[in-house]
Amino acid sequence: MTSKKLEKIIRDDGEFLFQNYGRLPVCFVRGKGAYLYDQDGKRYIDLFCGIAVTNFGHMHQAITKRMRQQIDSIVHSSNWFYNQEQIQAAKVLSELTFPGKTLFVNSGAEANEAAIKLVRRYGLTLSRNRYKIISFNESFHGRTFGSMSATAQKKIHDGFGPIVPGFIHLPFNDINAVRREIKRNRDIAGVFIELVQGEGGIRLTDRDYLKELFSLCNKNHIVTVIDEVQTGMGRTGRPFAYQYYGVIPDVITLAKGLAGGLPIGAVHAKSYLAEVFDKGRHGSTFGGNHVSCAAAAAALGEMKKKSFFANIQSVSDYIFAELSRLKEKYPIIREVRGMGLHIGVELTKPGLDIVKKALTRGLIINCTSENVIRIMPPLTIPLSVVKEGMKVFTRIIEEEGDA
């Protein structure tokens, strides 16, 4: 039942805001840890994290403390000046990834946009027409024109006229397709890949495939870019997903969980690539904002704690065990996939009704690619809360499975 308060919010949203989002009927006003509270004070268990953003839970003490301190000192000065918070965040990022340099922007799409420009500019220093970029079917890299053109999903392109030229979309996990393309095309500058396709339905990149892909790229001086916007910041059980694969990319792009909920994006690249953006070559007014970067330094710092990853492991083991038990019993579940706490449950039918049903029962989950239920809890969630949430989910699957 919709309350009077919510009815007014929905009416005002319709009157004053673009209607480009298919919003669910709830307005959150407060959060703490793995819980969210709506306009009427009802409590929800959050197994979604605002699309993998609040990885450290809502109102994480150390991160929000750092945000508050920063707000009380300076919020914005611009990239005309030096910025210690950018340096702090970049330093920890280098320690947790690979030696290199970082460029801060404001979102995942902007991070990929900057990485596209970086790769094209680097390629063009190697030879005259070398600006082409390979990306993979069902990928998602953002909604700006460049990042959307890297995104190999027709539904994202539809209705906007021609996409940016120079992107080659190949089948996912198919090394022969890449090999053929590299052999016949000398103009390839870079490859963009997600190691778990998040918006594409939680599809995992094959480990041997990635190793071969990297070996082909290295041999042919093709820049490897891993889009860690969704998989990064501990989501898969390691700080960054590539750390499972035994490869080191030339570039990673980040956003979402990087600043514990504040808007941010980042490109972290090996230094020889960072150099191709000489002074004035790329920029952003807000990129590297003091508050976002202070929060990022604190959030990255949290990933140095062993207990953080131990929790991901035990919660992940529990959820996967529960889901495989459900899969055995209910044919409505076709497959369970994922890494760490980046989990997809592919159903034999569309999943939105299940998401809506869960919401009315105080559980926040999500559906991607029509029929994949996506479960992405805070990485700090206590096992007891996950158990509570999975009980609600199990009941719904039982009802749907018996229906």
Ligand X SMILES: Cc1ncc(COP(=O)(O)O)c(C=O)c1O
Please report how close the Cβ of residue 52 comes to ligand X at its closest, in angstroms: 7
* CB nearer to ligand X: pick between 107 and 316: 107
* CB nearer to ligand X: pick between 70 and 112: 112
Tally: H helices and E strands in the chain? 14, 17
* CB nearer to ligand X: pick between 33 and 377: 377
Positions in the binding site for ligand X (CB under 6 A) = 51, 107-109, 112, 140-142, 194, 198-199, 227, 229-230, 255
The set of long-range contacts for 68-73, using a CB threshold of 8 Å and a minimum separation of 24, is 69/294, 70/290, 70/291, 70/294, 70/295, 71/291, 73/290
- Expressed in angstroms, the distance from the first to the final Cα of the chain is 23
**CA-based nearest residue to 146, from 194, 173, 112, 185:** 112
Q: Is 251 helix (H, G, I), strand (E, B) or coil?
A: strand
Q: How far is CA 27 from the centre of its chain?
A: 23
Please report how close the Cβ of residue 86 comes to ligand X at its closest, in angstroms: 19
Please report how close the Cβ of residue 54 comes to ligand X at its closest, in angstroms: 14
Closest-by-Cβ residue to ligand X is: 108
The answer to whether the CB of 335 falls within 8 A of the CB of 372 is no
Q: Which residue has the tokens 């027409």?
A: 129
The answer to whether the CB of 265 falls within 8 A of the CB of 50 is no
Token couple for 193: 């890949």
* CB nearer to ligand X: pick between 227 and 346: 227
* CB nearer to ligand X: pick between 35 and 112: 112
* CB nearer to ligand X: pick between 228 and 302: 228
* CB nearer to ligand X: pick between 34 and 150: 150
The answer to whether the CB of 316 falls within 8 A of the CB of 246 is no
Cα atoms in the 13 Å half-sphere on the side-chain side of 308 = 20
* CB nearer to ligand X: pick between 262 and 323: 262
Residues for the chain: how many in total? 403
What lies within 8 Å, CB to CB, of 254 at 6+ separation is 93, 108, 111, 228, 229, 232, 233, 265, 266, 267, 268
Provide the residue type at 82 as one letter. Y
Please report how close the Cβ of residue 316 comes to ligand X at its closest, in angstroms: 19
- DSSP bridge pairs for 338: 343
* CB nearer to ligand X: pick between 44 and 140: 140
